[in-house]
Structure 1
């Protein structure tokens, strides 16, 4: 299994172990740490999966140090670029997964399960195009595949908890109802991904998936936070045009500075999530369809908010968070 150091990767590794699978997780070496101690710590977090330090972006090193000449039945990839910037996206979301696909053939794997993203339905950004390009190669590979496209993650929708707790307004774009999603927890998603290895009904399928309950808008997220804190809702409405102005300025400056060009792409990512729903897209109408978006699991976003507010959970935010 690849991508085991991320929150979803950890949850998936634990779910695979719980299913009875023997799981090997090649992960990037951690400079400055004793290898044995680092492996033991990570193996504990992965529920007992075996950790091997190997570069997942170098095919030779992955095969030599990660797979070690052994045979494997399946490969599960939860790899994802950290920032979504073009260079990072094509190096990880596409190239590293392609290396994993080549390695899968070498070790005799028959099944390849990929964690993708529901936003590739409307690929306007570099990381979406990189993910979609690999999806296409995987489907044409001849291996049995399952491509999992989850909706929004709890951690990506939790960036405003502290500001609301501090008495600040909840920020929304437009009227706060431009978008909706069916948030899914790491554990529920991990169990869904793990089951794709064994459930033949999910093989050779593209599988959009969300969490339990109806779709939720950003305004409803804010209302829930205020309710949990026992406060009256207070919102600050941010016009989408403000993001457009920022993107335009950064894009112009990016012609002279690669760093600013990368920041322009990150701003585009923010705008995308602020204006596009993380739901199944109906190709006939061009509209997002909450009813057509499958649900799984039992963890809800608002129960997670309550756990965070009471100190029973912590937020590990990724680079794709809007706030």
Structure 2
């Protein structure tokens, strides 16, 4: 008998912090592939902060998850059934979607993962997936650190921040991370190779003054809130800010007031928000570069793996509260 399709649905839209009551586990029949489609058995699900925005019924760059709909998320898995000439049962693919055990997708939307090369499948959800490409775009196309400049990145031990700092380091910048807690800070300096990492739970302003005595040239923003408030006045003239996200504010309703933005004009700063889906040409470039760096040992990353789809809601709630350490993945 075919395995049923276990799914996590959006039961209710949260007003601020999501809780278990906003999700619903549902089980139904396994779907089948039509002509040109591929049925994928998901093996790993990526959990990412952007999913919080998809739970709201608000205008954004992507449509919200409908009430009763499957939660949004990217997966890697194995082909079970193929009605597309480019795929066969047993192939591993990326690009399958949804907090669910199975999905059907047009073959043209899936990426066949290489069977050789020493790259684990979960890497295509993190360091070589959307978070890695996001870091690559934010650093190389927006921040553009030059040798000797000071590059600061928040959430430095996370999936995006960890890669962003390593890319900036390869470009010759002096890289300062910001993370929560001594363990994460040690990982950022000892494993990822940053020049320093500051614990935002302490006196961040004093730590920034000590680590960046001449100011900050490039800031890669992942957190917002108090961290952003500490960084803004320390930006140098003609500094650049790659505005990726503000996870500290995602559950705050109404949104908190921001810092004094007058320095944007006074210091002639370049502040640019970006969404990685706007940069399709960057995906193959980074995947080739990142895979090579993995093979030669230059690119490091850490995964936080949760077992079981039924545990995805609680893991996602923890992600928004900073409980995870590294790229958060659910093993199905």
**Normalising by the residue count of structure 1, what TM-score does the alignment of the two structures yield?**
0.34
Higher helix share goes to which structure? Answer: 1
Higher-strand-fraction structure = 2
Provide the TM-score with structure 2 as the length reference: 0.33
